[in-house]
Amino acid sequence: MSTDSVITTRALTKRYRDVLAVDSLELDVRCGEIYGFLGRNGAGKTTTIRMLLGLIRPTSGEVRVLGQAVRDGDQRWLARVGFLVESASAYPNLTVRENLDVQRRLTGAAPGSVERAIDRLGLGAYADRVSGKLSLGNKQRLSLARALLHEPEVLLLDEPANGLDPAGIVEVRALLRELADERGVTVFMSSHILPEVAHLADRIGIIHEGRLIEEAGRDEFTARARAFVADSLTAEEREQALLTADLERYFLARTGTSEPGDAA
Amino acid sequence: MIFETVAITEFLKLHRARVHWFTLGALMMGPLGLALFMWIAMEPDRAATLGLLGTKAELTGIEATWASYSGFLVQIVGTGGMLLLAFIVAYVFGREYDEGTAKNLLALPVARHWFVLAKFIVAGAWWLAIVVAMLAEAVVIGLALGLPGFSATVVVQTVGNALLAAGISYLLVPVVAWITVWGRGFMAPLGFALGMLLLGNVFGSTGWAVWFPWSIVPLLVGSVGPAVSALPAGSYIVVALTFVAGVIGTIAQLRYADCAQ
């Protein structure tokens, strides 16, 4: 196993009766990188993240996170991990602040961490609103705030852009980039949306029917994608793709959020 | 320290929830309904003017005395309460699945058995609080009705018997928690509790009553025949074993079963 790997899986397999959800998965996620785990619905992304967190037991194989073998009964290593699994969820009768306070107490984070997380995820206006009355996007922000609250070294994020509007996606993208670049946080994020992953990830792995079928750095991956597009898309399809990108940029500019280099 | 923190967060999670008021209201309806029947029994002419309700009160053959009132109160805690307590435990454990927070809870840097124990503490405190509130309400209502035979001894005996029934009911409820985390929701544990209440009453009429955990409370409170004055030691052992099996089963389910919520 690589010595600088923060997340390592070896021959990781999960079978549900006749369904092979994850098949002999080999991953090495390096310290401080953003790893995009790309796959269609049902490809095995969420099952993998659940196994990384010890929520489900592998049928066979090995998982190590931060050097710790997962599922040996000791959960203390999870204090160094932040996560978001599948749908955003919180106690609906508690406010945003109260939900985060519960998390703070259980992770042993400092009292000021709640307000920092609220500011970081732009939840100030909703801090005293019960989470059951939040929009889907703000519930997702709350879940991300919960994941970041205790300043984890590793983030395991399952579809982090779910429910966020384009501006929210850009904000979260910038936040994750900052965490990786400035604090050395390792981010393992799953998605079924290629542009989301391509904008952010340092390396990308594609999982299909439980197997890792491709893995490459972002530049190499982008080059492969461009070559594929040049070879296989018609001029009309290429024009359609460019139009989609232009429309998104225009929308972001009009709603006050744009990425560096975007047309204003 | 870890357990204390977990227990505090479990209490915090109930903040602003309305469900404890619902359970309190449900249990406090018992003495109110009982008082109505006592009030009718105190003056037989009232039965005639109250139609069906009066007829029903007459048919139950209730005596309007503190001794009778006390016996029925203990039955309310012992049988109705057993179902209500199952609801409380199903809520405390099942809400994590219903609200999608179980996965967040189980991937925290806290050993999972602390959550189980803290949730049992919360359910126990909740149960004790509503039983005490109901008993206080019942004493006030009994005094207001002016039932004959009031004495401090009767009150102490009533409270003692009710708390014993409440305590035994509590010892049976970890099995409900186990079924809740196994079934990941409310329906399975509530169905189980209802089934056990019915089975408990069926076994209560047989010689097996002292050995079947869910017959022991009905036997003690007299809802399946005359209340027994003392249970054999074997019954307490059965209840204790049921408690231990429920706690261990709940912890093992959370620790070893997949959380694919």
Residue-wise pLDDT tens digits, A103-140:
999 999 998 999 999 999 999 999 999 999 999 999 99
pLDDT value of residue A260: 47
Q: Distance, in angstroms, between B258 CA and closest chain A CA?
A: 4
Per residue in A194-244, pLDDT (tens digit) is 878 888 999 999 999 999 999 999 999 888 888 887 888 888 888 888 888
pLDDT cut 70: percent of chain A above it: 95
More confident residue, B190 or A244: B190
What radius of gyration, in Å, describes the C-alpha atoms of chain B? 20
pLDDT value of residue B16: 86
Q: Tokens representing B235?
A: 């019954």
Per residue in B150-185, pLDDT (tens digit) is 999 999 999 999 999 999 999 999 999 999 999 999
Residue of A nearest to B18 (CA): A93
Q: How confident is the model at residue A247 (pLDDT cuts 50, 70, 90)?
A: confident
pLDDT value of residue A262: 43
Are A94 and B100 an interchain contact pair (Cβ–Cβ within 8 Å)? no
Are A50 and B103 an interchain contact pair (Cβ–Cβ within 8 Å)? yes
Cβ B179 vs Cβ B189: under 8 Å:
yes
Q: How confident is the model at residue A3 (pLDDT cuts 50, 70, 90)?
A: low
Of chain B, the end-to-end C-alpha distance in Å amounts to 29
Q: Is B148 exposed, middle or buried (0-12, 13-18, 19+ CB in 10 A)?
A: exposed
pLDDT value of residue B12: 94
pLDDT value of residue A112: 94
Are A106 and B9 an interchain contact pair (Cβ–Cβ within 8 Å)? yes
Are A56 and B17 an interchain contact pair (Cβ–Cβ within 8 Å)? no
Cβ A147 vs Cβ A157: under 8 Å:
yes
Cβ A226 vs Cβ A44: under 8 Å:
no
Can you state the angle between helices A96-107 and A136-148, rounded to 10 degrees?
A: 20
Nearest to A6 by CA among A156, A158, A186: A186
Per residue in B47-77, pLDDT (tens digit) is 667 676 666 666 666 888 999 999 999 999 9
Q: Is A76 exposed, middle or buried (0-12, 13-18, 19+ CB in 10 A)?
A: exposed
Rounded distance, CA B15 to CA A158, Å?
29
Rounded distance, CA B168 to CA B171, Å?
5
Are A50 and B111 an interchain contact pair (Cβ–Cβ within 8 Å)? no
Residue of B nearest to A51 (CA): B258
**Cβ-nearest to B258 among A57, A83, A130:** A57
- B180 half-sphere exposure, CB direction, 13 A CA radius: 29
- Architecture per CATH, domain A5-254, reads as 3-Layer(aba) Sandwich (3.40)
Q: Is the C-alpha dihedral spanning A221, A227, A228, A230 positive or negative?
A: positive
**3-state SS of B22-76?**
HHHHHHHHHHHHHHHHHHHHHCHHHHHHCHHHHHHHHHHCCCCCHHHHHHHHHHH
Per residue in A49-95, pLDDT (tens digit) is 999 999 999 999 999 999 999 976 788 899 999 999 988 899 999 99
Q: Average pLDDT of A183-195?
A: 92
Q: Which of A49, A75, A103, A128 to mutate to test the interface with B (most CBs of B within 10 A)?
A: A75
**Cβ-nearest to B12 among A57, A77, A102:** A102
Q: Tokens representing B76?
A: 């309310």
CA distances from B181 to B82, B127, B178, B260 (A): 19, 20, 5, 12
Q: Tokens representing A191?
A: 């998605």
Residues from B in contact with A at Cβ < 8 Å: 5-6, 8-9, 12-13, 15-17, 99-101, 103-104, 106-112, 255-256, 258-260
Can you state the angle between helices A96-107 and A113-120, rounded to 10 degrees?
A: 130
The number of angstroms, rounded, from the C-alpha of B229 to the middle of its chain's C-alpha atoms is 20
Are B6 and A106 an interchain contact pair (Cβ–Cβ within 8 Å)? yes
DSSP-derived letter for residue A171 is H
Q: What is the mean pLDDT of chain A?
A: 90
3-state secondary structure of A23: strand
- ipTM given for this complex: 0.86
Rounded distance, CA B162 to CA A93, Å?
32
In this structure, of A22-36, A229-243, B179-193, B194-208, the range with the lowest mean pLDDT score is: A229-243
pLDDT value of residue A116: 96
Write down the domain spans for chain B: 2-256
In this structure, of A23-37, A239-253, B25-39, the range with the lowest mean pLDDT score is: A239-253
